[in-house]
A and B are shown apart, each in its own frame.
Chain A
Amino acid sequence: MENLNWLSLGYTFSLSIVLLSTLISSLELSFVPTHYFNFIYPKIDKVHNNKRKWILIHVIQIACTLLSAILFFTGKIIAFKVLFLSLTLITLFSYINRTSSKDGADQLRMITLLTFSLCFLLDNSIGKLVTLVFLGLQVLLGYTTSGIAKLTSPYWRKGNVLHLIFGTYSYGVPKISNTLKKRPKLERLLSHSAIFIMLAVPISFFIPNPIVLYIALFSIFSFHFATAIIMGLNDFLFTFPLAYPGIILLHEIFHNYINL
């Protein structure tokens, strides 16, 4: 009974995060045409209608997101599933047609919407379990890859890369870049902390005490918070935590199995 409650709570949390993330992303995307940039339908014959189509797609996305949330929390599950499927399809349409400007958070959001939709085919609690486990596995893979890629990179290991990244216009803050350049020890500490925090999640996954995993997840969440402020990558902050209930659930399943 307690497990079922935890499953429902985790599922509700994940769903809320993906809806919030989709809402923020579609609101932000609907403002992109004000920057004169056309990357939705790069085909020349469709250029004239781009702005209207672009806004229409994202208005539908926003409406589907809000209605899905209302229907889910008021318990109208069949209507919720229909709306959520529509949201997945319109998001997929927008995602496929965007020829550029897609990042890891966009991909995880799309994968999450498709996973939730696919698991509607299953019985209620099995569907919830499979959804959370799959998303947990995806993000575990994400943090492991990111950590290993940084650990094997001579730039990151040397620890003098942050002032260069923060020194760019794209992801930087000049003041922080200058401070780090003047304090190489601090820069090395922060570079190595980034690697450690990434790898802390998969490492703590294998430690039976769940508190260690909670600390690792809190640390990585703080890392996303910092990159949202410093580097402007706010969509990672609003997307990656959707898999945390799945990671916690997987941890419990894994260690229960080991202890059998």
Chain B
Amino acid sequence: MLIVVITILAIFYVASILYQFKGLQKRINKFDKLHLLPNYSFFAPNPLVNDFRLVYKINEENLGNSSWEELNMYKKFSFKRIFWNPFKYYNKGMIDICQYLTREFHAVKDKDKMKLSLNHINIVLTIFRYLQKKGKKISGLKFAIVSSEGCEDLKIKKVIYDSNYQII
């Protein structure tokens, strides 16, 4: 049994080492069905220096189209986040989903099919639930993902993704 366990761990360790090389990641990913292989390069070689921001426009019943509003994806600094920071999962999840969606957008030829994307629907549902909790009755919405730089001196860099109106 010792040999079996050590063999499994050794194979995983060798795969972990190979996975640190960017050129091999795609090939190794095919075998990593559980997505367990770690990429330890954290914030390198290219660190994240831009934020994604999610803005939406809604079509309210009897009120017509609204102006652009932002769905908050970020929270201000607080010392308590050293012990308690559930917001990081939401924040990371939103960043990931914006990245997946923009990657999909560049890969798909027929851009009209984007509204069938799970990531697109997920973002629509997130905005819809947020508005529903605020007591807003909406008949449709559109959203856009923009990238920004800085916190206090905020610079909007570019529009990364712009959806069509989605009927709810």
Residues of A at the B interface (CB closer than 8 Å) are 24, 27-29, 31-32, 35-39, 42-44, 47, 92, 95-96, 100-104, 107-108, 110-111, 114-115, 118-119, 121-122, 126, 130, 134, 137-138, 141-143, 145-146, 149-150, 152-156, 161, 164-165, 167-174, 177-178, 225, 228-230, 232-235, 237
Contacts and interface: CB of A to CB of B under 8 A. Distances in A.
B94 A145 contact: no
Given A36-B133, A107-B36, A174-B152, A145 B20 contact: yes
B126 interface: yes
Contacts of A42: 118, 122
30 contacts: A28-B86, A35-B87, A37-B93, A38-B125, A38-B126, A39-B97, A39-B122, A44-B121, A100-B96, A107-B38, A114-B36, A121-B5, A122-B2, A138-B13, A145-B20, A145-B40, A145-B41, A150-B44, A155-B45, A156-B44, A156-B47, A164-B49, A165-B43, A165-B49, A167-B149, A168-B49, A168-B50, A169-B74, A170-B74, A234-B82
Contact of B86 (A32, A130, A150): A32
Contact of A35 (B6, B51, B90, B125): B90
B1 A153 contact: no
A64 B2 CA distance: 27
Given A101-B93, A165-B43, A165-B49, 13 more contacts: A37-B126, A47-B125, A95-B34, A101-B96, A104-B38, A126-B2, A146-B42, A156-B44, A161-B47, A167-B49, A169-B51, A174-B152, A232-B88
A170 B51 contact: yes
Contacts of B4: 121
Interface in B89-107: 89-97, 100
A228 B82 contact: yes
Contacts of A233: 88
B90 A153 contact: no
B63 interface: no
Contacts of B45: 149-150, 152-156
A37 B54 CA distance: 13
Interface range, B side: 35 or more
B41 to A, nearest CB: 4
B9 interface: yes
A104 B35 CA distance: 11
Nearest to B81: A232
A118 B93 CA distance: 30
* Interface-central residue, B6, B93, B96, by most chain A CB under 10 Å: B93
Pick the 9 closest A-B CB pairs, nearest first.
Answer: A101-B93, A100-B96, A153-B45, A169-B74, A149-B44, A36-B129, A149-B41, A164-B49, A28-B86
Contacts of A177: 150-151
* Interface-central residue, A27, A43, A146, by most chain B CB under 10 Å: A146
Contact of A104 (B8, B42, B82): B42
Nearest to B128: A36
A228 B125 CA distance: 31
A233 B77 CA distance: 12
A160 B50 CA distance: 15
Given A161-B47, A164-B49, A170 B95 contact: yes
